[in-house]
Amino acid sequence: MIMSMFLFSLPCGNRGMAEAAEPIKIGYLAPYVGVFAKFGSDLRDGFKLYLDEIGNKVAGRQIIFIDEDDEGKPEVGLVKAKKLVEKDQVHILAGIISSGVAYAVRDYVIASKVPLVITNAGANKLTQDQRSPFIFRTSFANGQQDRAGGWYAYAKMGARKVIMIGSDYAAGHEKGDGFKKAFQFMGGEVVEEIYPPLGTNDFAPYLAKITNYVGKVDRTWAFFAGSDAIRFVNQYQEYGLKEKLKLFCEEGVTDEANLPSQKDAALGIESYARYCIGYDSPENRKFVKEYRKKYNYDPGSLSEGGYVGAKFIVKALEAVKGKIENQEAFLKALRGVKFEAPRGPIRFDEHQNVIFNTFIERVEKRDGKYNNEVVYVIPDVNQYWMPKK
């Protein structure tokens, strides 16, 4: 946990009286233990990289970054959010990997009137029927790029029947529903859905079910993240399924964070993603170079997600000349932010969720390194995107 000296004695409701020269405090929630531990550190590292690029200052005010480990658990996330707001008196909350944590903090954020910028969790209701002027998302809504993936599987891969497998929690089901909705709309058939518990160590019982469909379906769709993704991909190969029934995955399965542990088991696997390290643009080349220089490992989708989230916040702060105490002006400025991110052009829709290009990517090996390379780009995918037949 990164902490600073205690700088405020004012209660939350009186922040508008604070001197303009006082630091701006950003409270950050991410998991640093458990299934999502590596994703949590990647998300944080990307966020901090952008803050470092601007010298941790905006409009003459220092930015103080305070992060807390939410452990990927809803009940812990809520406790840590309250600590950041009530004790540390942060001006804004950001981060969050788990959709469960995002749903858990929603009501508290709204009641406290503290802006929340979600930099990963795709809990789709938070920018749809449970949306709030205080909740922004710079990553994706569950189902967003998944519907684009469902279209691609049918229209470009030629898949007509699939079996689906994903982690049994909010994101797994919401992402699976998104893929299925577009795939079935195009005319495809989902023959079975399998949802192992989060934190599954042995996938053998589930892989045995998949084996029964070899020769009967065209693809296995999969969504896992963190250590679950590493185990699933490795065991899928060990079970002899990799070549018999090819995988088509959500980006978290073969994220750059996982590839050093997956190696050849991931080679050739295609996925759909909001970010691809192999995307050739000036912004992405700069981001990859600086990220590798600072952390000595390759950035993945979580790394870029943190970086983009920080930039959204800072751009809004620049627009209001650092006066975050004028919350109405800050929120209005944040809604209007748009820029060229490492993933390409990015902006908010009318419900404060991002619109972005979706990449189809494939794991390749070059000079002994495993990375994702761009295969296809689906432009301007929003959270309500649906294909046309």
Mean pLDDT score across all residues of the chain: 94
Region of poorest pLDDT, from 6-10, 265-269, 345-349, 374-378:
6-10
Cα 49 to Cα 53, 158, 293: the distances in Å are: 6, 40, 11
Q: pTM (2 decimals)?
A: 0.91
Q: How many CA atoms lie within 13 A of 159 on its CB side?
A: 28
pLDDT level of residue 254 (50, 70, 90 thresholds): very high
Output the pLDDT for position 7: 35
Does the structure show a pLDDT above 90 at 229?
A: yes
Output the pLDDT for position 8: 33
Model confidence over 14-52: pLDDT tens digits? 444 344 479 999 999 999 999 999 999 999 999 999 999
Higher pLDDT: 222 or 15? It is 222
First-to-last C-alpha distance (Å) of the chain: 49
Output the pLDDT for position 81: 98
Output the pLDDT for position 13: 42
Does the structure show a pLDDT above 50 at 10?
A: no
140/147 Cα distance (integer angstroms): 12
Output the pLDDT for position 203: 98
Model confidence over 362-382: pLDDT tens digits? 999 999 999 999 999 999 999
Output the pLDDT for position 21: 73
Q: What is the average pLDDT across 208-236?
A: 97
Q: What is the average pLDDT across 329-348?
A: 98
| 255 C-beta neighbours (distance < 10 Å), count | 30
Alpha helices (runs of H) in the chain, residue ranges in sequence order: 37-53, 74-82, 99-112, 144-155, 170-186, 204-211, 226-238, 259-262, 282-295, 301-319, 327-335
Q: What is the average pLDDT across 140-153?
A: 98
The 3-state DSSP class for residue 283 equals helix
Can you give the C-alpha Rg of the chain in angstroms? Answer: 21
- Which of 175, 71, 83 has the alpha carbon at shortest distance from 123? 175
Does the structure show a pLDDT above 50 at 143?
A: yes
122/355 Cα distance (integer angstroms): 13
Output the pLDDT for position 14: 40
Q: Confirm if 269 and 362 have CB atoms less than 8 A apart.
A: yes
| 306 C-beta neighbours (distance < 10 Å), count | 31
Output the pLDDT for position 17: 38
278/377 Cα distance (integer angstroms): 12
- Which of 291, 238, 288, 229 has the alpha carbon at shortest distance from 261? 229
Output the pLDDT for position 389: 79
Burial of residue 381 (number of CB atoms within 10 Å: 0-12, 13-18, 19+): buried
Apex 116 CA angle, 19 and 45, nearest 5: 90
